Amino acid sequence: MTIEDDIAFFERVPTLNMLGRAALRILAIGSESRYVHSGEVLFTAGDPADSGFVIQEGAFDLTARQFEGGDSVVVGRGTLIGELALLTETVRPVTATAKEPSTVLRIPRTLFLKMLEGYPDAAATLREIIAKRADQSTNEIYGVRSLLERRRY
């Protein structure tokens, strides 16, 4: 794929599409393509996370550590895995295993943060997205809390 193909691909990825074409060009130039065989583990829950991955082709089974051998979520083309790792030091909350031959684009945190420094408008947009998600998560937590409190009585 060319850089232009990668930019066009990133424009179809939720979260990344909000950053703008110029910022996505930086990510496309600096991202690393990686082929993952069917059944191969891309990363394991608990591992230090220093990058995000966008699934270019294929699909991955995401399994949380406490659910090994149990339920999992399958994600495919255009999914950004590990977006929090683009912004801060963290550990992988899930194990990602390729369900079929797959290709991912790895975006290192250092590249992502440098891009945000150079594109303050992209950083502001991302901050708004994160704030909305945090607000939504907080509301959902309060909703669950109120349901649990009602069941106690």
Q: Rg (Cα) of the chain, in Å, rounded?
A: 17
Task: Please tell me the pTM assigned to this model.
Answer: 0.84
Q: What is the mean pLDDT of residues 33-57?
A: 96
Q: At residue 101, does pLDDT exceed 60? A: yes
Pairing of strands 41-43, 48-49: unpaired
Give the pLDDT of residue 151.
72
- Under the banding of pLDDT at 50, 70 and 90, the label for residue 48 is very high
Compute the distance between CA of residue 143 and CA of residue 123 in angstroms, rounded to an integer.
30
Mean pLDDT for the stretch of residues 69-73: 71
Determine the Cα angle at 131 with ends 130 and 134, to 5°. Answer: 85
Q: Which tokens is 104 given? A: 């991912």
Q: Which residues contact 74 (CB under 8 A, 6 or more apart)?
A: 59, 60, 61, 62, 99
Residue 76 — very low, low, confident or very high, per pLDDT cuts 50/70/90? Answer: very high
Reduced to 3 states (helix: H, G, I; strand: E, B; else coil), residue 54 is strand
- Check residue 22 and give left, alpha or beta (phi > 0: left; psi -120 to 50: alpha): alpha
Topology of the domain comprising 3-152: Jelly Rolls (2.60.120)
Does 114 score more than 80 pLDDT? yes
Q: What pLDDT is recorded for position 68?
A: 52
The mean pLDDT value for 95-118 works out to: 96
Give the pLDDT of residue 67.
Answer: 52
- The overall average pLDDT reported for the chain is 89
What are the beta bridge partners of residue 108?
A: 51
Task: Give the pairing type, strands 48-49 and 59-64.
Answer: unpaired
Domain residue extents for the chain: 3-152
pLDDT on residue 143:
75
